[in-house]
Amino acid sequence: GQNIDQPTEMTATEGAIVQINCTYQTSGFNGLFWYQQHAGEAPTFLSYNVLDGLEEKGRFSSFLSRSKGYSYLLLKELQMKDSASYLCAVIDSNYQLIWGAGTKLIIKP
């Protein structure tokens, strides 16, 4: 079956750095998305990776290793507003979008 694994919850301190991991086993691969979802709100797009390596976008970076079926989202200089769930989603060979359950990130002062 197809599977996306992410930690359920993580806690970090304001100003610090946190890495949220995502591992996937899917039938084929056509890219990986990271979305941010604040409580009670809709998911919003953060990044898309289809090639191996690191994509940097401001305080957020996303890394992909296709051979390992692995990605991570790196958040630097954490702010209280970064408290949210972070969803990993993979596009399989049929162009179906498979979603992880999300990682709830709690930022403490």
Partner 1 sequence: DTAVSQTPKYLVTQMGNDKSIKCEQNLGHDTMYWYKQDSKKFLKIMFSYNNKELIINETVPNRFSPKSPDKAHLNLHINSLELGDSAVYFCASSLLNQGAYLVNEQFFGPGTRLTVL
CA distances from 78 to 7, 22, 71 (A): 18, 19, 20
Check binding of 38 to partner 1 (CB under 8 A).
no
Kindly state whether residue 69 participates in binding partner 1, applying the rule CB under 8 A.
no
**30 binding partner 1? (CB under 8 A):** yes
Strand segments (E) across the chain: 3-5, 9-13, 18-25, 32-37, 44-49, 53-57, 60-65, 70-75, 84-91, 97-99, 103-108
Q: Specify the stretch interacting with partner 1 by CB under 8 A; choose among 15-23, 58-66, 68-76, 93-101.
A: 93-101
Among 7, 23, 29, 48, binds partner 1 (CB under 8 A): 48
Counting residues that bind partner 1 (by CB under 8 A) gives 21
Beta 18-25 vs 44-49: how paired, if at all?
A: unpaired
Q: Which stretch binds partner 1 (CB under 8 A): 19-27, 39-47, 58-66, 71-79?
A: 39-47
Under the criterion CB under 8 A, does residue 101 sit at the interface with partner 1? Answer: yes
CA dist 88 and 100 (Å) reads 5
By CB under 8 A, name the binding residues for partner 1: 30-31, 33, 40-45, 48, 50, 85, 87, 89, 91, 95-97, 99, 101-102
